[in-house]
Structure 1
């Protein structure tokens, strides 16, 4: 018995930005971008909010539209849990999960957000499965707890809002979108067979983005000021020092954007991806030969090629969606998973691995039987 993944959906913004458009912003070219990343275009949210994208993906996954892949239509009252993974929320309060709960009328659902960067959907799925297992009607520990039979897990991002469009090394990478999945506790199906999540300390600050708050504070360490001070105070400066971006911010770079050391991130990601796959296989006590395909985080095609070589598998063993999405962080894995269903490469009974890696550093994998 286990938590079966039974519904899938995705959504992307209307605006498509091709590589050729970026040539007008920075010193780059379509050939340079495709060769180094595999990306040809990405979607950029102009009018759509993070919540708009998440809502559209969720409606698909719940079977409320004809755009997703759902085993049946789920009523709003059936959803007991919403886990929303994002690093680009529209709101601090309410949570994005709470906002989505309200929009969809999920009146019985517990709702909260998760920030694990690009591994967010894998973390969110692991959390949902753990809560469902603990609170399932047949669980020994379920007495006195809210029963959780069905969960909605979302990864949604407007990552282009954190993109420095003057930085040729990062602006070519990112896109916006959302993906969602419905999990259902089913005593007749294996569902999720294993999971692995882990953190490493990013001491080199290879991937970071400080938060920006714009409410002026009329205080300093000595007490109240007579004049409203600059928005960037001593506390924010301390964070910038810790993240290693103080000099760049002081030189005029935007503060709340993604700062990335590409080679260091690549080195971490390539090793983390293969480790996560091997760890989840070991925990489930099965071989990679038993797996139908791997759905990886779509960060860079070269990282996936590296993992394919290390795992001794051809590239067509992996779902590749990066060409027309770019890196959509927490939305990446569920969007690619939805693409895999759309392409007919996942059938009932297939064993599938979801694997991701992200800032923090975070990484992990989920193995489930479709």
Structure 2
């Protein structure tokens, strides 16, 4: 018995931008990008909102529209929980999950967001599975909890809105999209076998993105001050110092964009992914020989190749979807998972690992039986 994935879906924006098109923005070319990342193109949301992308992915996972994978149609009233993993919500309030709940008519569902950067979907799956398992258990107090039998977990991003398009080292990496999965408690199927999530302090600020609060604040340390309203938020420089971007912002660089030290992130990511896979496999009581495929975060093909070597597995053991999506943060893993189902790589009874790493630093993996 366990929480079983019974549906997956994905959604991509209409606009596809190929590598050579980025020549108009920065000094780059297809060969430079492809050899370093495995990316050939990415999708960029122009008219589409975060909620638009998340809604379409969810509709596929629920079996409401064509595309994706769904064992059956799930009616709106059957969903008890909605979790949306994102760092790029359309609004602060309501939550991205709350918007999806409203759009999809999921009137019985609890809804909230998680932010674990690119690991967000893994964290969301773990939270959903834990809540479903607690609801299904007979432990003390379980009867007093919200009954949760089915959950919709979505990863949705408009990461290109946080991209500095004048920085060739980062702008070539990112794309937009959404992926979704439906979990259901099933007494007859194993479902999720284990999960492993962990945080590590990013002490060198290798990957950061600040907020840019711009509402006028008519206060200074002495109280109300109309002059202060035009001066901006005096706390922002302290935040810039904490995440190591003060000098860049002072020099005129944009505040609310992704700043990344590529080599440091690569080193963390490669080790974090292999560690997460090994820990999750051990917790599941299986070996990698029992696993049909690994669906990793699609950040950089070279990171996946490094992990494949460390784990002693060929590249065809891994689902690769990065070539035409780029790094879509929390949307990356569920989109690749939907691809794996659509391509027939995952069959009933297969054991599968989903694994990710992200800013913060965050990382984690989930082992499930399809």
What's the TM-score bracket when you normalise by the shorter of the two chains?
Answer: over 0.9
Name the residue aligned to 1:274: 274
- The 4+ residue runs of structure 1 with deviation greater than 6 A are none
Contact persistence 1:88–1:157 (CA under 8 A): yes
Which residue is 1:320 aligned to?
Answer: 320
Secondary structure at the residue paired with 1:334?
helix
Name the structure 2 match of 1:182.
182
Distance in structure 2 (CA, Å) of the matches to 1:346 and 1:255: 42
Say if 1:159 and 1:329, in contact at 8 Å, map to a contact too: yes
Q: What does residue 309 of structure 2 align with?
A: 309
Q: Which residue of 2 aligns with 1:251?
A: 251
Report the TM-score when normalising by structure 1: 0.98
CA deviation vs aligned residue, 1:242-284 (integer Å, no higher than 9, x gap): 0000100111111000000000000000000000000001101
Using the TM superposition, give the Cα deviation of residue 139 of structure 1 relative to its aligned residue in structure 2, in angstroms. 5.6
Superposed, 1:74-153 pairs within 5 Å as 74-136=74-136, 141-153=141-153
**What is the SS of the residue equivalent to 1:82?**
strand
TM-score for the superposition, normalised by structure 2 = 0.98
Q: Residue deviations 1:304-355, cap 9 Å, x none?
A: 0000000000000000000000000000000000000111110000000000
Query: Hey, what's the Cα distance between the residues in 1 that align with 2:82 and 2:155?
Result: 11
2:353 aligned with 1:353, yes or no?
Answer: yes
CA offsets 1:199-223 (integer angstroms, 9 cap, x no match): 0000000000011112111111122
Alignment of 1:1-370 (within 5 A): 1-136=1-136, 141-230=141-230, 232-370=232-370
| CA distance, structure 2, for counterparts of residue 72 and residue 162 of structure 1 | 37
Q: Deviations over 1:138-192 (max 9, x none)?
A: 5664211111000000000000000000000000000000000000000100000
- Distance in 1 separating the partners of 2:230 and 2:171: 28
CA RMSD of aligned residues (A): 1.0
Cα distance in 1 for residues equivalent to 2:301 and 2:258:
20
Stretches of structure 1 lacking an aligned partner (at least 5 in a row): none
CA 1:26 to 1:231, structure 2 compared with 1: closer, same or farther past 3 Å? farther
CA distance in 2, matches of 1:138, 1:10: 35
| Residues 218-227 or 118-127, more deviating | 218-227
Q: Would you say how many aligned residue pairs link Structure 1 and Structure 2?
A: 370
SS at match of 1:183: strand
Distance (Å, rounded) in 1 between the aligned partners of 2:140 and 2:123: 24
